[in-house]
Structure 1
Amino acid sequence: MELPIIDVILSYSLNKLELIAFIFAFILAIYRKPKIFSIAISAGVMSAGLALGDYLHSNVLSLLLIDDQIYYWYLVWAVFSLFQAFAVIGFHWLFGVMFSEQVKLVFITMAVNALLNTLMFIDRNIVALNFDSSPNEYSDDSWLLWDLYSIGINANLLFLALVLLSRGKLKGNVVWMFLLYCCCFAALSL
C-alpha cells in the first residue's frame, strides 16, 4: 500500500493544524475577559482527545499487524468522538458551567464524527460495499462515499475549531454556520 508523499504530509499537517487551533481556542477562552469557561473546557477536551488519539494510533495501534491496524482504525476514532462528547458534558457538570452556543455544536459535530467513523468501519470491515475482500486498501479501490466520509470527518473538526475560535454569539446564525461548514468541506475537498 503506497501513499504519495504529499498525501501523507497533508494529512499529518491538517491533523496538527486542527490540534493547534483547539489549543489556541483554549488559550483564548482562558485569557479573554470575561473568561469563557465553557469554550475552554470544550477546546481543552478536544485538543487532549486529538493528541491522545494521535498517540494511540501512532504508538499502540502500530504494534498490531497491518490488517488489525486497518480493522480497528476507524472504530477507535468513533469511540474517541463519543468519549470527547461525554468528557465535555462531564467537565461542564464537574465545574458547574453552563453550555455556550459553541459547545452545543461540539455535541452535534462529535456525534456526526462518531457516525461517519462507524460507517467507515462498517464499510471497510463488515459490509465491504464495493464487494472486495479488502476494500479501500488502495486509492483505485475507493468509492465516492468513502471520500465523502474522509473529507467530512476532517471538515467537522476544522469547522468545530473555527467555531470555538469565534467571538460572537451563534444564536440565529444558522445560515452563516452552514456556509462556514460548506467552506471547510470545499477547502478540504480540493
Structure 2
Amino acid sequence: MELDHLVVGALTLDQGVAWCERVLGLSPAPGGSHALMGTHNRLLNISSPAYPRCYLEIIAIDPAAPGPVGRARWFDLDQPSLQQALRAQGPGLIHWVARVGQMDAALAQMRSEGVDAGEPVAAERGDLRWRIALRQDGRRLRREGLPTLIEWAPGGPHPADRLPASGVSLQRFEARDGLNVWLDTPRGDVRLSLLA
C-alpha cells in the first residue's frame, strides 16, 4: 500500500483553485469530470523522492453533471456535515487514497480486520482507468485514518506521470491520529491537517 494522492474538498472548483493559489502559491493543472460520481477536479503533482507518483486532487461536485445513481458521492461529498465545514472553513484536506496492486486481496484483508472499506468499482476519466473501493454511503474511512483504496489499470497511465513538475513536493505524511501532511511549496513549508 502506497500513498497515491491527497484529496482536498471544495464547495466549487473555482474556490479550490483559489485556495491552491493562496495556500500553495500556484494554480493546479487541469483535471476533468467523473461521470460516475458527478464530480470534477484539478490536479497538482506533489511527487518527491519519499513519495513518488503522488499528486494532490482538488475535487468538488460538478453542478453541470447529474449525481450518481443508487449511491452517494465519494469522500463524503454528499454529507451535510462536510458541506457545512467547506462552507464555513473553505476548501481543505479531507482524505487520502492509497495505491494497491491487488485490490481484492487488500479488501479481503481489511474485511478480516472488521473494516468495511467498500467494494471495487470501475471508474475512468479520459484514458485513465482504475478500480476504487467505495461504500454505498460514500463515507470515508475515518477509523485510524484509513485510506480509500485505488488500483490503477495495469500498464496504463497514472495521473502523476503526466503532470508537470509543480514546485510543490510532499515532505512528510502522517495518518495515525488524524491526517497531517507537510509540503515544500513556493510559499515555503506548508502543513495541511484534516478539515474539521
Give me the TM-score of the superposition, normalised by structure 2: 0.28
Of Structure 1 and Structure 2, the greater helix share is in: 1
Give me the TM-score of the superposition, normalised by structure 1: 0.28
